[in-house]
Structure 1
């Protein structure tokens, strides 16, 4: 795990390289070898492009449509893998938590605690995450405007923690689709916090009759370019060596071998709009 918040926070502002930062990794930790391989490859790409990198991996998936959906390999096992990734690859790590009781446990292993979009109004969860002293990344609910996320920021700050990030992941559009309203990014940035665009989750097609969420990965580049042009501080991209075999959210992931080419294009967009 990164030694201090002072070493983590520079990843969340465009001050040193002038680049956006990247949160990327698999949807869920499937095993140690895969996690380390993904982190190492992404770190190699981001180092070349001077993009600050935070490894992302859920230690457990609690929000599943079906009872037989994959949820994880065990909490302690997955958290130890996240810790090992941070130590061996030398990057900050982020994972999501679902209940207030999980905050202190996860904080022992990772640098950033993430609040899932469906839970962004859960006061006890936000307060528990804030009180760990970790950076807290709150995903905007699909049912909320960017302006309404001020209250999530206030809850964390009023709990004694100024280290807040807000992430957009689209808004519900009908029963089985999402749409991205890019007005949300400047609205949330006005609260004085870094803002992130969750590119891959915003392309989900939820509530499919199969009980497995669909997606539109062909539009990943479109959403990412637009977010950078609007001024996002960071991007969130789930990636996997073989999305078709991923145990969670494979339908909207980016194949790992396509990530570097996308990042190169995005650094050019960033340079053009600076």
Structure 2
């Protein structure tokens, strides 16, 4: 599965064009696709940074694009009061990494009845994600997805511990790997985050080889001029080639992943 789209909603037309292009590539490769984009980037390095259209307009755009493309959509919720409105439109609610321990937000999302994807915070160990799962389960949710997006490594840097993928999968739910946020250099250029997008193929191939259930990528036709997270996003025209590589890796390792799961008793994801 590929969860992908531009970091933030720039306009309805832009999201529609990018979403349609990604859908076309995914359909050609028979890869399930979920369109993502944020209606509000609440966590920005600078208060002057572009945040997106906001809750009401952002959900209106997501609803229209969802209907036109006939694909499921995902976006972030940042506060309990956003959950009900978002659940009316979104197919999957996402909890941002910095909010992954916010109990009220987690339980509100779980009680919405929609699947919930939680980004594991950069400050958490993979085994700490078991507490996230427990909170969601306590509120009645079994449609749970966890996403790895790198861990803080000193100042303005992240590192990916591939061990976190099988550890989190052992909780019995699907695990995604957020490739593009994992190459982020948080706050690395002073009033914004930098990134190393040239590392995307290496980390993506490693995650697929480790048996991850899907990938999360932010994709843009012109990252250099994107209003948010440009240095970390994959260029849209690079997606077909990368997806070919990842499917080759998946086909090569799938029998061994299943075999190891059977030996260890680990579930490959519900």
Asked if residue 256 in structure 1 is aligned to residue 233 in structure 2, the reply is no
Q: CA RMSD in A?
A: 0.8
Measured against aligned partners, the alpha-carbon deviations of 1:52-106 in whole angstroms (never above 9, x if no partner) come to 0000000111001111000112321111111112111111100001111111111
With normalisation by structure 1, the TM-score equals: 0.91
Query: What CA distance in whole angstroms lies between the structure 2 residues aligned with 1:245 and 1:79?
Result: 24
1:42 corresponds to: 22
1:98 corresponds to: 78
Query: What CA distance in whole angstroms lies between the structure 1 residues aligned with 2:46 and 2:19?
Result: 29
Asked if residue 127 in structure 1 is aligned to residue 115 in structure 2, the reply is no
Query: What CA distance in whole angstroms lies between the structure 2 residues aligned with 1:209 and 1:169?
Result: 20
Query: What CA distance in whole angstroms lies between the structure 2 residues aligned with 1:158 and 1:75?
Result: 27
Deviation of 1:207 after TM superposition, in Å, equals 2.4
With normalisation by structure 2, the TM-score equals: 0.93
Consecutive unaligned residues in structure 2, runs of 5 or more: 255-270
Deviation of 1:209 after TM superposition, in Å, equals 4.9
1:9 corresponds to: none
Asked if residue 265 in structure 1 is aligned to residue 245 in structure 2, the reply is yes
Q: 2:124 aligns with which of 144, 150, 157?
A: 144
2:139 corresponds to: 159
1:208 corresponds to: 188
Query: What CA distance in whole angstroms lies between the structure 2 residues aligned with 1:207 and 1:241?
Result: 23
The number of equivalent residue pairs is 254
Q: Is the 8 A contact 2:39 2:55 kept in 1?
A: yes
Query: What CA distance in whole angstroms lies between the structure 1 residues aligned with 2:165 and 2:189?
Result: 32
Structure 2 residue matching 1:101: 3-state secondary structure: helix
Measured against aligned partners, the alpha-carbon deviations of 1:94-129 in whole angstroms (never above 9, x if no partner) come to 000111111111111110000000110000000010
Q: 2:175 aligns with which of 189, 195, 214?
A: 195
Q: 1:75 aligns with which of 55, 69, 72?
A: 55
Structure 1 residue matching 2:80: 3-state secondary structure: coil
Q: Is the 8 A contact 2:55 2:82 kept in 1?
A: no
